[in-house]
Structure 1
Amino acid sequence: MSLELTCAKHRIALEKKHFPNGVTPREINLLDDVEQLLQRAYQAGAQSSNDVQAWSNQSAFGYAIMAAERVGFSESDTQRLIRALHNRFDVVSLEKAAEHYRRSSY
């Protein structure tokens, strides 16, 4: 789905949520500005995501190792955990991983 279409769908949802009785021309201008700002913010984030992703993956590995050590995982269990994380980083997007976490009971 394109960025423009995604933003348009979110805009419609905002309109329905915050302006259930319709929007005035002034509110339409406000929503236009918000939609454009969100598109620019997303594009800026997407451009810098390569640097952030590498740092985030390394940080996640560090957190996982620290947690495994804290709860007493053996070295072999910690290695299995890190290998599994490597695999997940390779095949699961950040968005899907965040969604999975939000739906989990943890």
Structure 2
Amino acid sequence: MSRWAWGEGLRAGETVALLVQDLGQAEAMRLGLTRLGLRVVSLDCAGREQALADALAQSAAVLVVVDTALADVYAGVMGRLCDYPALWWNGPGADFASLDLALAEQA
């Protein structure tokens, strides 16, 4: 994960937000990202759409990783922010920006 993040241009001090259901997966991502000195923020998908948008805005994330299963939840953020972080999808079904495929290419 850290090699992928470096290749994406992420550098120490920047923030990555995670909207990931599996806590084990989220922790593995957190470990890989923090090895580069990145700040990792976990987003709560149980709240309202505006609460999720506010949390994402406050995080100042430059990138967000979203489970494909939570695509509808993340869609609720659309139209609520001035600036959107880069988006990578985690899990099956992503047609583009698939974190799974990108990591598999590096293995």
**TM-score exceeds 0.5:** no
Of Structure 1 and Structure 2, which has the larger fraction of its residues in strand? 2
**Normalising by the residue count of structure 1, what TM-score does the alignment of the two structures yield?**
0.28
Q: Tell me which protein shows more helix as a share of its residues.
A: 1
Question: RCO higher in 1 or 2 (8 Å CA, sep ≥ 6)?
Answer: 2
TM-score normalised to the size of structure 2?
Answer: 0.28
